[in-house]
Amino acid sequence: MPRVEFGIIDWDPHNIAYATRCGITIEEIEYVVRSTKDWRVNKKSCSGDVITTGRTEQGRRITVIAVWNPQTHTIRPINAWEAK
C-alpha cells in the first residue's frame, strides 16, 4: 500500500464532470480523500494510480479512484461511485 500524502486536491471541469457523474458530490469525494489512510495501488490496466473506499460524513460508502503526484503533492480524483 502506498503512503498517499498530498496537500492539494486537483479539480477542473473535466474531472469534476466525470467524478460526479454517478451522483457523488465534490464534498463527499473530498471528505473521503482527506479522511482515508487506506489507499491501494489501482490495477495497471485501469485509469488512475490509487483507489480507496471510505465513508462520507453522512455514512455513505464510496469508492474513489485518483491520480496521485507525490512530487507536486497533489491528488486528482477521476472517478467515484457508491460502494456496495
What is the tens place of the pLDDT at every residue in 32-54?
A: 999 998 999 888 767 888 999 99
Q: Is the pLDDT of residue 11 over 90?
A: yes
- Can you give the residue range of the structural domain that contains 26? 15-82
Q: For residue 31, what is its C-alpha cell?
A: 471528505
Look at the pTM and tell me if it is higher than 0.75: yes
pLDDT value at position 3?
A: 85
Instruction: Assess if residue 4 is contained within a domain.
Output: no
Residue 47 included in any domain: yes
In a domain, 55, yes or no: yes
Task: Confirm whether 27 is domain-assigned.
Answer: yes
Q: What is the DSSP string of 26-79?
A: HHHHHHHHHH----EEPPTTSSSSEEEEEE-TT--EEEEEEEEETTTTEEEEEE
How far is Cα 45 from Cα 56, in angstroms, rounded to an integer?
A: 28
The total domain count for the chain is 1
